Each structure stands twice: as C-alpha cells, then as structure tokens.
Amino acid sequence: MAPNIHHIPLVPTTIEDARIRVAILGTGMMGQEHISYILGYSDEVRIDFLCDPFENSLTEARRLIMDSPYHEPKFLSNEEELLASAGQIDLLVIASPNYMHTPTLLRWGVHDITILCEKPVSVSQDQHDELIAASKLPEWNARLWTAMEYRYIPAIAKLLSLLPEIGELKMVTIRENRYPFLHKIGEWNRDRAKTGDTLVEKCCHFFDLFRLITGKEVDLSKVRALAQRGINYGHEENQFDVPIIDSAYVTMPFHGEDGRCNTVGCLELCMFAEGSRHQEEIIVTGSKGRLEAYLPENKVFMYQRPNMEKWQDRSIPPPKSSVHEQVFDCSNVKDIHGIADDIPTHGGYHYCSTAVEWYYLLAAVRKYRDGSNFQPHVSLSDGLKAVEIGIQATSTLADGMVSDCRDM
C-alpha cells in the first residue's frame, strides 16, 4: 500500500513540536495500514517508535516511512524497550497478534496514555475477565479506543444514518463471503488458542456492528451456532489437532430495556467463497422498510414497504411500482461522514475506514488535551461485549453443532 505523503501541510520546524507522539507495537499488515494513514496526518501526529520482534515486518515499516520527512522513529525489536519510553508516548497503537492484546493492555494500562487497540481486545474468557478486573483498579490510567474500523466503512456508515427511515428494527443479517485467512508469522491465526477461534478473531467486528445497528444487547444465553471446520488449510504442512472454523451460522436475539426480544440477528460466515460478488452484505429489515449494504460495491439500497393505497389487491404480489427504492452511492468517503477536511487515502484495505477512524480518534485526543473527557467511539466495554458474543457462540458448538470436514 502506498504511503500518504502527499497534500500534507508543512510541519512547523520550531523547537516546540506539539504533535501527538505515536508508538506502534506490531508492524505487520494492520500496523502498516495504520502507518500509511498516519503519514496523511503528519501535521498532527509524529511516529516516534516502531516496535516488532520480526525484522521483516520492521523492514517493511521502514520502507513505508523512509520517504516522509516528518517522522524519525526509533526502530525497536523488544516491547520492554518500548515500555521504558512510555513517558515519551502520547498514543500507543497495539497491532500485535491477537493473543497478545490483553497482556499488552495489562502492562500499559497503568500509564497515563491513550491506546488504540486492534480487535479483539481478548481471545478467551480468562483474558476477558482479567481485563475487566484490571480496568476497574485505581491504578488503571490508560484511555482506550478499541479499533473497530468496520463502523466507518462508507456503506455501513450510510446504512446506520438511514435506520430511522425503516421503522422499528426486526431483523439484522450480516453475511461475509471471503477467502481463507491470510498467512501470518508463525501461523498464529490458525491456532484456536491464540485467536479464540474464528467467531472471536474475525467476527467480533460483526458482533460489534449488530450491537451498533440495533442499539441493544444480545441475550447471550440464547445465542446459537452451527459451524464447519477442516475445509481450508488441509494442504499446509503444519496442522493443528483441531482446525479453526471455516464457516458458520450464528443466530442471536436482542433485548431492549424492557427485557423483551423484538429483534433477531443472523451472522453467516463463509471463508471459502473466493470470487463471490459481494464480500460483505448487511441487511436490516424494519417494520416500514429495508436497508441493504453491499461491499465492495459500496452501495446502500433502501426499500419502503407499500401502504394499503399502493397495494390494494392483497391476493396478488405487490406491483413493482408500489415499492419505493432508493440507491445511495457511498464512494465519496468525506461526503458520507460529513468531513470537510482532507483525509488520507490509499488503495489498501477496509475502504478507507481506518482513515476515518483516525480522524475521529485524533479529534478525541485533541479534546482531551484541551481539558475535556476522553470519549472513544468504541470503548473497552464495547470491545469486550463483541468478544463475549463470539465466545458464547463458539461455546455452543460443544453440543455437537460443528462438522469437522476432515472426516468426510
């Protein structure tokens, strides 16, 4: 992915550099994506530390940043070295392998620092509980923003803005049709102990969206799942005794403040669907209409249900003219989010949503510097609740609701 070094205002070269001092822990794929977008905010942010134990990842990070005159980071291979410099860091980005997120948060949470932690914030019930307990201690000083960039994908953001148009929400379906997990160093993303399995590692993004769309909490005791394992990765040399989940259906009811369930959700995941027309689909149906968001098409379709006047003869299907359709092209990120300022772009992943995430994160940091409370869009609690749904869905598979396709 190309670094964002164009259209950047000249950074003042005064002795007093008031930019936000950033350290990135983990310079693999996601770390590099964050670097690329930070380069587009060089008038506000400077990267002072890049840390990763793997030289190849640091080399790639160095390549991304070498042409930018606004950043002179120290390259470290040991987190202990980085931790020793905590007092020189305003904002830490945690983009290390998933199983390391909770231990890292426990080490850094005692410092007066802002943290952007990639999802998931934990991968097991033990990590989840440990993180909750630590965050309640008086010595916890960190301000945490959980990275859930899917919230800012243009088509998803547009769908969220249109929810009032379709009445009371009744059904939410999220479908992902994609390729298998990409290769990671040490194949940690094939190891259930290091990921919490696919419904935690991958799907916490979607469980976060379910909560965001409905504005309600999932009744965890009634979450159910069906899944398949052993379809992908069989050709690889290093095999785990139990392979990670390759496909799944997860159903869940949502309850409001009155405790009643009047909204249901369904997640469909297929990790062997290369070439599918849509990689992600989000369909929300309300009492008055329906919203459909499609990616990478980046469009939202809104349908209004016909009233009695437009569909008078109920013995036949409704006339096509009676259903009102609107199509929203979401290719202009700034228009969708109402952002007047320039934001960085590149041809990387996540439809430029990480740039929008950084836009709002930096605004929150500026407000905190000016004396306001730090208000993350996605709190530690939000991150943990998304993980809870994934853990619960995975636990229901212990009842025999999973097929190991290696046996077929």
pLDDT at 346: 61
pLDDT at 209: 98
The torsion defined by the Cα of 121, 106, 73 and 91, in degrees rounded to 10, comes to 70
Helix (H, G, I), strand (E, B) or coil at 351: helix
pLDDT digits (tens, 9 = 90+) for 19-77: 999 999 999 999 999 999 999 999 999 999 999 999 999 999 999 999 889 999 999 99
In 264-352, alpha helices (H): 333-337
Which range, 127-141, 254-268, 348-362, is most confident? 127-141
Residue labelled with tokens 């990921």: 195
Spatial contact of 221 and 245, defined as CB atoms under 8 Å apart: no
Spatial contact of 342 and 7, defined as CB atoms under 8 Å apart: yes
pLDDT at 6: 43
pLDDT digits (tens, 9 = 90+) for 379-397: 999 999 999 999 999 999 9
d(C-alpha 383, C-alpha 55), whole Å:
30
End-to-end Cα, the chain, rounded Å = 40
pLDDT digits (tens, 9 = 90+) for 286-343: 999 999 999 999 999 999 999 989 999 999 999 998 999 999 999 999 999 999 888 8
- The residue that leads in pLDDT, 45 or 261, is 45
Task: Give the distance between the most distant pair of CA atoms in the chain.
Answer: 78
d(C-alpha 159, C-alpha 311), whole Å:
26
Determine how β-strand 289-295 pairs with β-strand 299-304: antiparallel
DSSP of 136-165, one letter per residue?
TSTT---EEEEE-GGGGSHHHHHHHHHGGG
Rounded to the nearest integer, the mean pLDDT of the chain is 91
pLDDT exceeds cutoff 50 at 90: yes
pLDDT band at 345 (very low <50, low <70, confident <90, very high): confident
Spatial contact of 300 and 158, defined as CB atoms under 8 Å apart: yes
Is cis: bond before 296, omega within 30 of 0?
A: yes
pLDDT at 392: 97
Spatial contact of 93 and 50, defined as CB atoms under 8 Å apart: no
In percent, the amount of the chain with pLDDT more than 70 equals 91
Helix (H, G, I), strand (E, B) or coil at 132: helix
pLDDT at 5: 47
pLDDT at 399: 64
Phi, psi (degrees; rounded to nearest 5) at 351: 55, 35
* Structure token pair of residue 105: 């948060």
Spatial contact of 362 and 20, defined as CB atoms under 8 Å apart: yes
Residue labelled with tokens 């998304």: 386
Distance of alpha carbon 96 from the chain centroid: 15
pLDDT at 17: 87
Q: Which of 89, 106, 82, 87 is nearest to 26 (CA)?
A: 82
Q: How far is CA 381 from CA 131, 153, 404, in A?
A: 10, 21, 33
pLDDT exceeds cutoff 70 at 237: no
Q: Which of 388, 377, 385 is nearest to 145 (CA)?
A: 377
Which range, 9-13, 228-232, 288-292, 335-339, is most confident? 288-292
pLDDT digits (tens, 9 = 90+) for 179-216: 998 888 888 888 899 999 999 999 999 999 999 999 99
pLDDT digits (tens, 9 = 90+) for 161-184: 999 999 999 999 999 999 998 888
**What mean pLDDT comes out for the span 218-233?**
90
The residues near 103 (Cβ < 8 Å, ≥ 6 apart) are none
Amino acid at 319: P
Q: How far is CA 363 from CA 207, 351, 368, in A?
A: 26, 21, 9
Helix (H, G, I), strand (E, B) or coil at 34: helix
Question: What radius of gyration, in Å, describes the C-alpha atoms of the chain?
Answer: 22
* Structure token pair of residue 260: 């009643």
Q: How far is CA 205 from CA 55, 148, 198, 405, in A?
A: 29, 6, 11, 26
Q: Which of 219, 216, 270 is nearest to 389 (CA)?
A: 219
pLDDT band at 406 (very low <50, low <70, confident <90, very high): low
**What mean pLDDT comes out for the span 86-96?**
98
pLDDT band at 10 (very low <50, low <70, confident <90, very high): very low
pLDDT exceeds cutoff 60 at 150: yes
Cβ-based neighbour number of residue 283 at 10 Å: 17
